[in-house]
Chain A
C-alpha cells in the first residue's frame, strides 16, 4: 500500500477514473432509495436485451435492518457501493478488476486477494448469477457476479457485475477499525471524517427505521406502488413502472425493519414485488427490441408521460439525446 492511504473520496475518484478508462459510462446514482446498486436501472434494465453496455457509478444503498443508531463500528443502514457493469462480460474481467485494486494503491503481490465462491440470487428481481466475493486479507471488499437471469429472463449476453463495498474497501486501505473514523477528505490539513458526515444520519435514520416509521403508511404505500406500477405497465411505460417497484421494495424493507411482517407475509411481499419486476423486464425487453436494440430510444412508449414536465431521473438518456 502507498505511504499515504487514499481518502474515501480519492478512492471513489480513482475507481471512477479507472473504469472510465475502461470505457464505462459514468452514469450517476439513481435518486431513489434502494438496497443495492443492482436495482439501479443502469444495472437491472441494461442487463436485459442484447445490446452492449458498460457503466460505472457510486450508489448510496439503504438497508434499514442493518442500522445500529451509529453505535456499531461496522454496521450502517446507509452505505455506498461502487458499481461496475460490463456487458458482455469481457474475457479479462478478473485481471481488469485486479488492476483496479492496483489503481487504488493496493499491491496485489503483497496482499492476499481471493475470489471466494458466492452465488447470488434475488427473488424480488427474478435474478440469479454465479460468482464470488473478493477477499482482501480476509475482508470482503467486492462482489463479483455473472448474471445468468434477470427479471426472469435469460441474460444473453451475460453481464458481469462488480460491486465494491466502498466503506469496507476504504477501511482496508486506511487501516481503520471503525467506519466512522474513515477520512472522507483532506484538504490543507483539514480532515473530514465519515463520522462528521453520517454519524448523526445513522442515529436518526435508525430511529426512523426501527421506531418511528409508520407501518400503516408503508403498507399502504406498497399497495399504491403496486397499483401504479400495473397501471404504468398498461400504458407501455416500463421505466416509470420500474421505479414504482424500487419504491415498493424499499417500503417492504422498512416494514421488515419494524418487524411488521410475519414469515408468510414476508414471502407474499417478495412474490408481489417479483411479479412486478418480471412484468417490467418483459415489457422493457419488448420495447427495446422494437427500437432495434437501442435501450436509449423508447420508440412509441411514453408519449403521454412527458407532459408533466417533471424532471424525471433518466435511467436512460432522454429521447432527445438518443439521436
Chain B
C-alpha cells in the first residue's frame, strides 16, 4: 500500500517553558499510539516543540489501516429456532434489522446469531481529527485555559493548525481551529503565513524560510554552541537553564554582555542566581571557575542592532545586582544571632508554630543525632557535634534577611556567608551553608558531616511535622516539598553512611513537637518514606522483586537494607535460587493458611514425631537447620548477609527433599504442628535477610 509522511502542527501562543520538551514528545507519542491502535504500521515518529508550536512527524504511514471484521450480535441460538427447527420471529427480526438474509448470518463464539462484516480499514484522513483531539487532551499539562468566547481548553490559545498527509492538507478542525495550508514562522523574521509543500518539507521550510528551528534537541545544541562561542572565558551552562532557554526561543542568537566588575565582591551564588533565575542569562567563569564580569544572553531574534539589545540586557542586570549588593551590605550589619528573635514572627506552618520553634526542635534533634552518630563524626575531623548544634541554632536566621527574602533559593548559602562575617567558625558556616542540600534530585550533598547531619535533622523535622499535621501530599500536589525532603533523607543516610534506623528517628523528630501532631497521621510517615526508598532504588536500576524481598524486613534501617539488597541480588544469580524461591513461596503459603490458629509458642519444633515414611527427610531438615541457625544469626548480626545467605543456600537440598517426601498437613495433629513449626523457624531465619518468596521464580533455574 502507498505510504506517505504525516505532519501535524499545532500553532499556539507561547507555551510554558518547563514542560515544553515533554509536551512535544507526549503529543507525538500519543498521536503515533493512536494510529498504532488502529493497526497502522509506520516508520519513525519525530516530535517537535518550540514556544509557538507542538508538532509530530510520522514517516511511512499507509493510507489505510488493516481491514477489520466487525461482528454484530443478535439473539442466542436457542431463541432463534423453534422445536421444528424453524427460525423464530426473533431471528427473522434480527436478520431484517441487519438488512441481511438469514442464510448470510453466522454464529458467534458465544452461540449467538451474528452478522459478520469485513470492513476496510479506516483511512488516515478519517482518523486524523479524532486522534489529534485525543492526543492533545491526553497531554500531561498543568492548568488549561479558555480564550475568547469559545469553550475550548488548552495550555495556551491555539492559533493555527497544519495537518499535511504527504502534500495534502487534511481538513481537520482542532479546538475550534480549522487546519489550513500554511504554517507560521518566526514572529518578526517571517510575519507572513508560510506555505508548506508537503509533510517532509515542513521542518526545512520552517528553518530556511520561517527562521524557526523546530526540533528541540537541534535548537538546544545550536544554543550551546553559540553561547560557547560568544562567551569570554567559559560559559556556565546548566542543563536546566539550557532547556529553559531552548524552550523560550525559536531562532536563538547569543549576545555577550557585561556587568560592572565591582559586583564580583558579591557571593558567586548571588550573581549566578540573578543571572540564571531572574534573567535566564548564562554566567561566565575563568579557567579556575571564578566568575567573570560577563554573561551570555540568548535573544530570540537575529537583530540588525544587537548592541541595542545588549545595552537593554545590561540595563536590567545592573539594578538587580546593585539591589543584591545593597542587601548584602545591609544584612551584614547585624549578626545572625541577633536575628533569631525575628524567627518567632515567621510562620513555619499554621499548626506547627514559627521558625523559632523549628529552630529549638532542630537544635535538640541535631544534638541527639550527633550523639547517635558520634563514632561516625569522630572519623571526620571536619565535624564536631558542637559545630552541628551551633549551626542548627543559626541555620534559619538567614530567612529573616533581605537577601533570602529576595532570593529564597539562596537559603542556607547566604547564612553561611553571614556566619563567616559574624566570626563563626568555618565548620559552622559550612554546616549552615550545606543544610539545604541537596537542592534538587541528584544535586550535591553537604560536604561536611555536620552539614549533612543538620540537613538530615531539618528534613526529618519537616517530614514529621507536616505529615503529622495531616498534610501528606496527595496526587501531584506537594506544597511543602515532602517528596524532595524524603528523597534527600534517603540519599543523605546512604551516601554519608549514617547508621541509623529511620523508624526511630521519625519518632524522635515527632517527639520534638510535643503533643502537636496527630498520631494517626504520623503513623503514615514510615510508609511514605518507604515509597521514597523504593523510588531511590528503582531509579538506580534495582529490580522490583529484589527490592520487594529486601524491603519486607526492617526497611527503614537503610544501611542494613542496602547490605541485604546486595545479598539478595547475589542470591538471585545463584543456581539454587529457583527452587529455594519456590520453597519460600510454598512455606509462606502453608504458614498463611495455617494462620494464627497454631500460634508461635505452640510450634516450637520438637524432635520429629512419628515414624512415617518421611521421617528421614524430616529429621535431615531438622539437623541441617539446627546446624546452621546460629551461624546464620551470627553472620546476619554482623551484617554479613552474603555469608548468611551462602549458609542458608545449603538448606536447598534438605528442603526440596522434605517437600518431596513429607506431607506437612498430616492427619496427626502433633505431627502437623511440629512440621509447621519447623517451617516457621526456617522461614524466620530466611526473613532476617529478606522475604525470598517475593522474588520472581525463574522457571529455568528450577531444573538446576
Q: Point out the residues of chain A lying under 8 angstroms from B51, CB to CB.
A: 115
Q: Point out the residues of chain A lying under 8 angstroms from B159, CB to CB.
A: 91
A109 touches B311 (CB 8 A): no
Minimum CB distance partner of B155 in chain A:
A130
B312 touches A137 (CB 8 A): yes
Chain A residues numbered 139-165 whose CB sits less than 8 Å from any CB in chain B: 139, 146, 148, 155-158, 160
B599 at the interface (CB under 8 A from A): no
Chain B residues numbered 295-310 whose CB sits less than 8 Å from any CB in chain A: 297, 299-301, 303-305, 308-309
* Option from B18, B300, B323 in Cβ contact (under 8 Å) with A112: B300
Q: Point out the residues of chain B lying under 8 angstroms from A305, CB to CB.
A: none
- Nearest chain A CB to B275 CB, angstrom units: 11
Q: List 21 A-B contacts (CB under 8 A).
A: A88-B149, A89-B157, A91-B148, A91-B159, A94-B13, A98-B187, A109-B189, A109-B303, A110-B308, A111-B303, A112-B301, A113-B300, A115-B14, A117-B17, A136-B312, A137-B311, A138-B281, A146-B145, A158-B149, A262-B345, A263-B347
Minimum CB distance partner of B189 in chain A:
A109
Q: Point out the residues of chain A lying under 8 angstroms from B13, CB to CB.
A: 94, 115
Query: Assuming the A-B contacts A1-B308, A138-B279, A139-B315, are A112 and B303 also in contact, with contact meaning beta carbons closer than 8 angstroms in the complex?
Result: yes
- Nearest chain A CB to B325 CB, angstrom units: 13
Q: Point out the residues of chain A lying under 8 angstroms from B148, CB to CB.
A: 88-91, 157-158
Q: Point out the residues of chain A lying under 8 angstroms from B318, CB to CB.
A: 177
Give per-residue flags for B161-203: 1 if the beta carbon is below 8 A from chain A beta carbons, else 0. Answer: 0000000000000000000000000011100000000000000
B14 touches A132 (CB 8 A): yes
Minimum CB distance partner of B17 in chain A:
A117
* Option from A114, A158, A264 in Cβ contact (under 8 Å) with B147: A158
* Option from A109, A117, A157, A177 in Cβ contact (under 8 Å) with B149: A157
Complex Cα distance A172/B14, Å? 23
- Nearest chain B CB to A176 CB, angstrom units: 9
A10 at the interface (CB under 8 A from B): no
- Nearest chain A CB to B55 CB, angstrom units: 19
A22 at the interface (CB under 8 A from B): no
- Nearest chain A CB to B421 CB, angstrom units: 24
Complex Cα distance A117/B303, Å? 23
Complex Cα distance A130/B153, Å? 12
B301 touches A109 (CB 8 A): yes
A73 at the interface (CB under 8 A from B): yes
- Nearest chain B CB to A200 CB, angstrom units: 22
- Nearest chain B CB to A227 CB, angstrom units: 27
Complex Cα distance A171/B316, Å? 11
A-B CB proximity, top 8 nearest: A137-B312, A157-B149, A112-B299, A115-B14, A263-B347, A88-B149, A138-B316, A117-B16
Complex Cα distance A155/B145, Å? 11
Complex Cα distance A117/B149, Å? 22
- Nearest chain B CB to A66 CB, angstrom units: 12
Q: Which chain A residues have a beta carbon within 8 Å of chain B's beta carbons?
A: 1, 73-74, 88-91, 94, 98, 108-117, 119, 129-130, 132, 136-139, 146, 148, 155-158, 160, 171-172, 175, 177, 262-264, 267
B157 touches A146 (CB 8 A): yes
Q: How large is the interface on B (under 10, 10 to 19, 20 to 34, 35 or more residues)?
A: 35 or more
- Nearest chain A CB to B139 CB, angstrom units: 15
A74 touches B147 (CB 8 A): no
Q: Point out the residues of chain A lying under 8 angstroms from B350, CB to CB.
A: 264, 267
Minimum CB distance partner of B316 in chain A:
A138
A108 touches B188 (CB 8 A): yes
Complex Cα distance A160/B145, Å? 12
Q: Point out the residues of chain B lying under 8 angstroms from A129, CB to CB.
A: 145
Q: Point out the residues of chain A lying under 8 angstroms from B17, CB to CB.
A: 117
Supplied contacts A88-B148, A111-B308, A172-B312, 12 more A-B pairs, CB within 8 Å: A73-B319, A89-B147, A108-B187, A111-B312, A112-B301, A112-B303, A130-B145, A138-B317, A148-B145, A148-B146, A177-B319, A267-B350
Q: Point out the residues of chain B lying under 8 angstroms from A114, CB to CB.
A: 14, 248, 300
Q: Point out the residues of chain A lying under 8 angstroms from B309, CB to CB.
A: 110-112, 137
Complex Cα distance A91/B149, Å? 10
Q: Point out the residues of chain B lying under 8 angstroms from A98, CB to CB.
A: 187
B441 at the interface (CB under 8 A from A): no
Minimum CB distance partner of B153 in chain A:
A148
- Nearest chain B CB to A256 CB, angstrom units: 13
Query: Assuming the A-B contacts A91-B148, A139-B316, are A109 and B156 also in contact, with contact meaning beta carbons closer than 8 angstroms in the complex?
Result: no
Minimum CB distance partner of B279 in chain A:
A138
A264 touches B188 (CB 8 A): no
Q: Point out the residues of chain A lying under 8 angstroms from B281, CB to CB.
A: 138
Minimum CB distance partner of B253 in chain A:
A112
Query: Assuming the A-B contacts A94-B13, A116-B248, A264-B347, are A109 and B304 also in contact, with contact meaning beta carbons closer than 8 angstroms in the complex?
Result: yes
Q: Point out the residues of chain B lying under 8 angstroms from A117, CB to CB.
A: 14, 16-18
- Nearest chain A CB to B628 CB, angstrom units: 62
Minimum CB distance partner of B13 in chain A:
A94
- Nearest chain A CB to B20 CB, angstrom units: 10
Complex Cα distance A88/B146, Å? 11
